Structure formats: C-alpha cells, structure tokens
A = this chain, B = another copy of it.
Amino acid sequence: MKLNTTSQYAIRIVTFIVQNGANNKYTAKDISEKLSIPYKYMTKIMTLLVDGGIISSSRGREGGYSIEKELAIIKIGDILEAVKENLHQEKCVIGNGSCNKREKCILHDKWITAKKAMQEIFENTTLEDMIIR
C-alpha cells in the first residue's frame, strides 16, 4: 500500500516550493539537489506538473518554477492527478471481474471504507495545509 515513486516525488516537490515561498522561483537544479531527486527524472515530473496547471514555469536565463494559483485551491489530489496516479481506481481489490454492489467480493465493503478514507486525505488536504506545521 503505497504511492508510486513519481507521485511521492511530486508531492515532495510541491511541498518544498510551498514551504520555501510559493512565489519565489526555483530552478530544476536547485530542487533536484535539495530533495535528492535525480535531475532528469525530476524535470520529467515537472513537465507533468506544469501541464497539470499545478506549477508554472518560465524558461531561459533567470527562469525556474513557482506556484501561481491560490494555494488554498490546490489539493494533494490535484497533484496526484497531474502525475497520472490512478486515484479513483474502481476495480475490485482482488481483481474479481464480477464485483459490484449486487454481487460483492468478500472484501468489498471493508475495502471501500478504507479506500474512501485515503481518498478523503487527498481531496481535503490543500497546499495551504502544508505551510502550517
């Protein structure tokens, strides 16, 4: 039970920027070094976050990454969505094809409950929550 590496990095990157001043600019080199994330792998993730509207980038000399949106409106779930983590996995836990409300697998109800708890974390935690600690 874990988030994949890309998702983990994505959250750490965004958290790093938010905690050090969202409107400041951070270069890929800087972020990569501070968070010990492989440079090339990181820039790949950055592109996803930029495309997803989480982070804004400026190219060229004096370029870098920052966060422009109102912090409060960006949720952890948005970050995960940007890097394609499948949050709303509807498939049966044990891969049982015919698992639905009518004909449930043995873990269905319990699993759904726990899964909802996870999803709520991602839906209810915003970037703003990351500053206060």
Contacts and interface: CB of A to CB of B under 8 A. Distances in A.
Nearest to A18: B106
Interface stretch (A2-10, A39-47, A52-60, A67-75): A2-10
A72 to B, nearest CB: 15
Contacts of A95: 5, 8-9, 12
A91 interface: yes
Contacts of A117: 113-114, 117
Interface of A: 1-3, 5, 8-9, 11-12, 15, 76, 87, 89, 91, 93-96, 104-107, 110-111, 113-115, 117-118, 121, 125, 129-130, 133
Contacts of A11: 94, 107
A94 B8 contact: yes
A19 B82 CA distance: 42
Contact of A89 (B2, B125, B130): B2
A63 B95 CA distance: 28
Given A2-B93, A91-B2, A94-B11, A110 B121 contact: yes
A20 B61 CA distance: 69
Contacts of A89: 1-2
